[in-house]
Structure 1
Amino acid sequence: MTLSSSLNAGVAGLSVNSSKLGTISDNIANSQTNGYKRAITEFSSLVVSEAGGGKYTAGGVRSASFRQIDARGGLLTTESATDIAIGGRGMIPVTSVSALANLDNEIPVQFVSTGSFRPDQNGVLRTSTGQVLLGWPANRDGSVPAFPRDTTTGLAPVQINSGGLVAAPTTEIGLGVNLPAAQTQAGASGDPIPLSTQYFDNLGASQSLAFTFSPTIPATGSSNEWTVEISDSATDAASNPVASFVVTFDDGFANGGSILGIAGATGGAYDAATGIFTFSTASGPIELDVGTPGDSIGLTQLSAEFGPTGVTKNGSPVGSLSSITITENGFVQGVFEGGFVRTLYQIPVADFPNLNGLRATDGPAFAASPSSGSLFLWNAGDGPTGGMVSFALEGSTADIATELTSLITTQRAYSSNATVIRTVDEMLQETTNLKR
């Protein structure tokens, strides 16, 4: 019994070391494969109950192999904005090119830790091995709708239309202007002060808003009051001005020069909590930020010359896509001619309770399994996940020096188990020769 158990233990030793040699070979072969996760073979002993009387029965050994998917390789700098990696825990959702042929069914999703994505002939971002980047598509205004986080429903291939033309209407204007305090004093000329600013309509055409600031001249003292009229170049003359309001400034010690209050609004409404005066143009509503009461930003009245202190606006004229950027939060943003930036997609970061339980596929990519647990899609950098790193790829987690060391010890172990088998064979041969 002891000899046969020793023989079985030796055979088991050959088998498990053969398995370990396979993982070592895979690791060495993929030591330069970006995103490769090192395969590991671990041994555990098999114990057989002792028969008693000082006898021992060898149980042998068994092995278990798995991939250390939660291990992170070093980040390698590249020159492409669409080379991305995760700077911590998490995976990037992808699908195969072949799966896109049947869009009637739900797209099968796999996961990678890094990828070098390039647009194909249709503008779809994919790797050379056929993995297509997935993300949540943004609305026309660049906002990303709320998608369910515990399912891949809503994910779509990231497609970049480099030849398309895009325009963005102006919806927000920040009006920072200083009005001269001397113009509201008794005896001042009372001449209105004009100011014009550009905005873009719904078709990307350039339009202008004409602001007229008219001071209220009192009989004595200072009124600290101005009437602001807004005219729109896209609106017919008979309907201009499209909006107006009366602003009064504070001349007190604490908040001198800031807005005291706004009243008499026509064609729009002022919200003192936000400092926004909302009015309508020919292309739609515009939120005009004039500042809140007591604030030194926006409209002010100080003893200085008239002058804009900061006029800002959103929107863009018609332009084509010039470049792509991917932010740390996973937003795929298009940079258009003229400097306009719009969010096109958001790439979520997938996490599982047991990353090492994912099932390995070609690529290297991974698929969900019962051992991995349930999926959850995070915004990159939120929760346990790392931020998204552009211009970078994750290197292999296999280290050649470590694998070569394991190769030597595995070879020795295999040879030693073979020696056990030879020794048992010789002992059995001696037992057979006893009857001669």
Structure 2
Amino acid sequence: MSINGVFRTSVSGMNAQANRLSVVSDNIANSGTTGYKRNSAEFSSLVIAQGGGEYNSGSVTTQVRQSVSQQGNIAASSSGSDLAIQGDGFFVVQDAAGREFYTRAGSFVQRTENNVTYLVNSAGYRLKDTTALDGSAGPITLPVGEIVAPQRTTQANFALQFPESAAVNDTKKSSMVIYDDVGREIVVDVNMTKTAANQWTITYDDSLGPQTSVIDFNAVTGLGTATPAAMAYTLPGGEAIPIGLGPLTEYATDFSARLVGNGNPAGTFSEFAFGEDGTLNGIMDSGAIIELYQLKFARFPSPDQLTAAAGNVYSASNASGVVEVGDPGMNGFGSLVPSGLEQSNVDLASELTSMIESQRSYSANSKVFQTGSEILDVLVNLKR
């Protein structure tokens, strides 16, 4: 065995432990970073071919392994724009140049650049989405301070529960708000009268006069005996708004009504909020809610093989596989947790233990190097 082999092996050992300490240092430094995924250093040996009775020492190399697929704990947040993912998936983000990245760090805030308001994380990456209106993809832009154009009501629905114990000629009342083309609010009063046993009549007035629909119920099941005739509300200009009926029931419980229509008046948004299904809704000062975007998640067959980049983001690689995009909570994608943040998956106790082990191994390898140096001195001194 050449004495030089001792130096080579011990130096590779010290380098390997130094790499491990670097990984541990990075993990500890980012133990409080939202969505950070810990790394670990894996060792592998390099063996030199042996011959005769001599032993030729090899060396050791390190490879960094990511734990991107390991779930971190989710902590509650007071911000409605903070988001977390429970399960498989990544947020899709873009940098200012439009390059696409993926992250689990969901601490998004509003930032206005050149009069355009984006949702960006702490590293400045913009949250990307698919618009609910036209299906086009791009970074989310929030209409902060903009006048929202009115949308005429185009459809409505009556969901009604009638009390089975009501007497004939008993009347229940409710109302629905709809909007015309300029966003003018129209309140539609709806009367519901029990006209016979297990029969109710729905009545309201529109521009054509009184409109009625008779609903018959099965006395045993409390469900409708037939599909009720279609209803519509006709605006003064002649536009007809179709009204769906259902669910309709007659159970032995209290009366309840849910009469809703789409559309909105002109106004401005007072706030924005994400739903668990990934929709980003704008809440107007009038209380109307408008769906603006549908959040999409990305996932990979081998997420631990993604390429890490600055800002706690990742990019696709050949080893990670092809990206797949889908809705939160659907087809195996993780669920969205609004007002939550995924914490780092670093375990400080494990990292400190690894630090102690690396320190001892580094010291032991340095002793091997020192011993080899002393042996070499002995060889040199033989000539004296």
TM-score with structure 1 length normalisation? 0.73
Structure 2 vs 1, CA of residues 283 and 52 (structure 1 numbering), >3 Å: closer, same or farther? farther
Alignment coverage as a number of residue pairs: 372
Per mean C-alpha deviation after superposition, the further-off stretch among 329-338 and 419-428 is 329-338
Structure 2 vs 1, CA of residues 223 and 39 (structure 1 numbering), >3 Å: closer, same or farther? closer
Structure 1 contact 201–283 (Cα < 8 Å) conserved: no
Query: What secondary structure is seen at the aligned counterpart in 1 of 2:106?
Result: strand
Query: What secondary structure is seen at the aligned counterpart in 2 of 1:115?
Result: coil
Task: Map 1:22-421 to 2 at 5 A.
Answer: 22-53=22-53, 55-96=54-95, 98-99=96-97, 107-121=98-112, 122-139=116-133, 145=135, 154-166=136-148, 167-170=150-153, 171-174=155-158, 176=160, 198-209=177-188, 231-232=205-206, 235=207, 240-241=208-209, 247=214, 249=216, 254=220, 272=227, 276-278=230-232, 280-281=234-235, 282=237, 284-290=239-245, 296=249, 310=257, 312-315=259-262, 316-421=264-369
Q: Provide Cα deviations, 1:228-269, integer angstroms capped at 9, x if missing partner.
A: 87642xx4xxxx23x85674747x86579x7666xxxxxxxx
Structure 1 contact 84–115 (Cα < 8 Å) conserved: yes
CA distance in 2, matches of 1:215, 1:28: 70
Gaps of 5+ in 1: 100-106, 146-153, 184-192, 217-221, 262-271, 301-307
CA distance in 1, matches of 2:193, 2:77: 57
1:428 maps to: 376
Q: Provide Cα deviations, 1:364-385, integer angstroms capped at 9, x if missing partner.
A: 1111111211000121122333
Q: CA deviation at 1:196?
A: 7.3
1:190 maps to: none
Structure 2 vs 1, CA of residues 198 and 45 (structure 1 numbering), >3 Å: closer, same or farther? closer
Structure 2 vs 1, CA of residues 343 and 426 (structure 1 numbering), >3 Å: closer, same or farther? same
Structure 2 vs 1, CA of residues 283 and 76 (structure 1 numbering), >3 Å: closer, same or farther? farther
Query: What secondary structure is seen at the aligned counterpart in 2 of 1:111?
Result: strand
Per mean C-alpha deviation after superposition, the further-off stretch among 426-435 and 110-119 is 426-435
Q: Which has the larger radius of gyration?
A: 1
Q: Percent sequence identity over matched residues? A: 29
CA distance in 2, matches of 1:320, 1:223: 48
Per mean C-alpha deviation after superposition, the further-off stretch among 354-363 and 71-80 is 71-80
Structure 2 vs 1, CA of residues 352 and 275 (structure 1 numbering), >3 Å: closer, same or farther? farther
Structure 2 vs 1, CA of residues 255 and 94 (structure 1 numbering), >3 Å: closer, same or farther? closer
Structure 2 contact 156–241 (Cα < 8 Å) conserved: yes
Structure 2 vs 1, CA of residues 245 and 82 (structure 1 numbering), >3 Å: closer, same or farther? closer
Q: CA deviation at 1:136?
A: 0.6
Structure 1 contact 2–56 (Cα < 8 Å) conserved: no
Structure 2 vs 1, CA of residues 259 and 13 (structure 1 numbering), >3 Å: closer, same or farther? closer
Structure 2 vs 1, CA of residues 354 and 228 (structure 1 numbering), >3 Å: closer, same or farther? closer
Q: Provide Cα deviations, 1:324-356, integer angstroms capped at 9, x if missing partner.
A: 221222211222234322221112111111111
Q: CA deviation at 1:76?
A: 2.5
Q: CA deviation at 1:418?
A: 1.3
Structure 2 vs 1, CA of residues 13 and 280 (structure 1 numbering), >3 Å: closer, same or farther? same
TM-score with structure 2 length normalisation? 0.82
Structure 2 vs 1, CA of residues 244 and 379 (structure 1 numbering), >3 Å: closer, same or farther? same
Structure 2 vs 1, CA of residues 334 and 417 (structure 1 numbering), >3 Å: closer, same or farther? same
Structure 2 contact 152–179 (Cα < 8 Å) conserved: yes
Cα RMSD (Å) of the superposition?
A: 3.6
Structure 2 vs 1, CA of residues 310 and 76 (structure 1 numbering), >3 Å: closer, same or farther? closer
